[in-house]
Amino acid sequence: MEQTWRWWGPKDIISLAHVRQTGATGIVTALHDIPAGEVWTKEAIMERKRFIEDAPDLGLRWSVVESLPVAEPIKIGEGDLTELFDNYRESLRNLGACGVDTVCYNFMPVLDWARTDLAAPVAGGGRGLRFNQHEFAAFDCYILRRSGAEADYSEDVLRRAKVWFQSSDEEVRAKLLSNIMAGLPGAFDRYDVEGLKVILGRFKNVSTERLRENLKRFLDEVVPTAEEAGVRMAIHPDDPPWGLLGLPRIVGNEDDLAFIVGAHDSLSNGLTFCTGSLGANPKNDLPAMAARFAGRVNFVHLRNVTKDPDGSFAEAEHLGGDVDMVGVVSALLQEQKRRKDAGDPRWRLPFRPDHGHELLDDIGKPTHPGYPAIGRLRGLAEIRGVMTAVSQLQGLPV
């Protein structure tokens, strides 16, 4: 599997030289300065590609786009979408022409990943990301004051949410909003409470069924172009994999993935297999899902979570959580062998260590939440060890 690293562009405090020191050779990045819905020009793509690849001693390549964002009106199914679809198709053509041929995207309404604590303590003084169900409920019910929000939470969670809210002050509440908004990377908008109410209002008539219809329409519009451009798309699962703030989410379980891959029988309509996002759903059997959908996996995020009975979860050590990482890696290495034996020139699956704990002297550095260097380096090294062991024991290409 191709070892890659998410890099936030030329202003990232983790340099390309640092990335190469981790052992990664593939870069996962995006043109975050271009707003969702606008065209990625060949000139802009090549400028970033040259920046990554023009240092021959590093031997890096731009392996994966993460993400080419889908504009909110497409998810809503709102208004005349002709220009947005045209722009997305043009961006895919330009990426393919520039040799950047794997595109990760998501279809999560409003929020990308959501956490309530960006610095939850871990053993030895490190810090990690955590989603506390009662804190999110406190935000939803008492700060946002969304109508009908109480119906989405258990009595116990609501009780603890009320206690949390009553004991908090404005500074703590503002910090919670900031933490929840931190999952919107790059050029995406952040919302205050009133702004969040406005964008949620635009989704008020979008049910689970309608959001699925809108995703199907998106795939109908763009997958044929991706095929022509030689681009393999990879939808990212919802994080967490259930509805938030009254918004439906449709990429969170085995049935959802089956619907998506069934929408177009094409490797250009593929998946990002994220063990952290899917792993937060206690009903998901990750090794079984990896085996079932391996033929349509185009990109892999490997991280781990520990889950609580109330729906809360914490991001764990890469080999230390609830997810059977060895089982997942084994299924994906088996798929690599199948692709190689079939003569697929792009048989190696790109993967990256997703998120990581703040450890050692990374603690407190201004990295993107979840993306410190040392924690991800540790995760990459651990997964590299699993890959090496599995490949040797089973005779699989790594």
On the question of pLDDT at 187 being above 70, the answer is: no
- The interaxial angle of helices 373-394 and 325-341, nearest 10 deg, is 60
Q: Which domain holds residue 210?
A: 2-113+203-394
Where does a domain end: 180, 200, 220? 200
100 and 221 belong to one structural domain = yes
Q: Is the C-alpha dihedral spanning 110, 114, 116, 119 positive or negative?
A: negative
pLDDT at 182: 87
* Band of residue 191 on the pLDDT scale cut at 50, 70, 90: confident
Instruction: Check: CB of residue 112 under 8 Å from CB of residue 106.
Output: yes
Instruction: Check: CB of residue 274 under 8 Å from CB of residue 104.
Output: no
355 is catalytic: yes
301 is catalytic: yes
Q: Give the mean model confidence (pLDDT) for residues 147-152.
A: 97
220 and 315 belong to one structural domain = yes
User: What percentage of the chain carries pLDDT values higher than 90?
Assistant: 96
Q: Give the mean model confidence (pLDDT) for residues 283-297.
A: 98
Catalytic residue among 117, 324, 354, 362: 354
Q: Give the mean model confidence (pLDDT) for residues 244-271.
A: 97
Decide the pairing of beta strands 269-274 and 297-302: parallel
Give the pLDDT confidence of 299-354 residue by residue, as tens digits: 999 999 999 999 999 999 999 999 999 999 999 999 999 999 999 999 999 999 99
Q: Which residue has the tokens 């929020």?
A: 111
pLDDT at 185: 60
354 and 222 belong to one structural domain = yes
265 and 350 belong to one structural domain = yes
- For the entire predicted model, the pTM comes to 0.97
Give the pLDDT confidence of 42-73 residue by residue, as tens digits: 999 999 999 999 988 999 999 999 999 999 99
274 is catalytic: yes
What letter would DSSP give residue 144? S
Picking from 110, 101, 33, the residue whose alpha carbon sits closest to that of residue 71 is 110
60 and 195 belong to one structural domain = no
Distance of alpha carbon 68 from alpha carbon 237, whole angstroms: 15
Total of domains in the chain: 2
User: What percentage of the chain carries pLDDT values higher than 70?
Assistant: 98
Distance of alpha carbon 390 from alpha carbon 334, whole angstroms: 10
Where does a domain end: 200, 233, 262? 200
Q: What is the CATH number of the domain that holds 6?
A: 3.20.20.150
**Looking at the chain, how many residues does it have?**
398
Q: What is the token pair recorded at 295?
A: 């033929």
136 and 101 belong to one structural domain = no
99 and 32 belong to one structural domain = yes
371 is catalytic: yes
Give the pLDDT confidence of 124-145 residue by residue, as tens digits: 999 999 999 999 999 999 999 9
Catalytic residue among 98, 104, 141, 274: 274
* Mean pLDDT (the chain, rounded): 96
Catalytic residue among 105, 152, 236, 264: 236
Distance of alpha carbon 189 from alpha carbon 69, whole angstroms: 12
Catalytic residue among 264, 301, 318, 357: 301
Distance of alpha carbon 329 from alpha carbon 3, whole angstroms: 13
Q: Give the mean model confidence (pLDDT) for residues 273-280.
A: 98
274 and 191 belong to one structural domain = no
Residue 85 phi, psi dihedral angles, 5° rounding? -65, -40
Where does a domain end: 163, 180, 200? 200
pLDDT at 183: 78
84 and 184 belong to one structural domain = no
pLDDT at 107: 97
On the question of pLDDT at 192 being above 80, the answer is: yes
pLDDT at 189: 64
Instruction: Check: CB of residue 157 under 8 Å from CB of residue 120.
Output: no
Q: Give the mean model confidence (pLDDT) for residues 249-262.
A: 98
283 and 326 belong to one structural domain = yes
266 and 359 belong to one structural domain = yes
Q: Which helix (H) or strand (E) holds 178?
A: helix 170-181
* Band of residue 397 on the pLDDT scale cut at 50, 70, 90: very high
CA dist list (Å): 342 to 110, 335, 388, 391? 40, 11, 22, 18
Distance of alpha carbon 232 from alpha carbon 272, whole angstroms: 11
14 and 97 belong to one structural domain = yes
Distance of alpha carbon 71 from alpha carbon 56, whole angstroms: 36
Give the pLDDT confidence of 80-126 residue by residue, as tens digits: 999 999 999 999 999 999 999 999 999 999 999 999 999 999 999 99
* Band of residue 188 on the pLDDT scale cut at 50, 70, 90: low
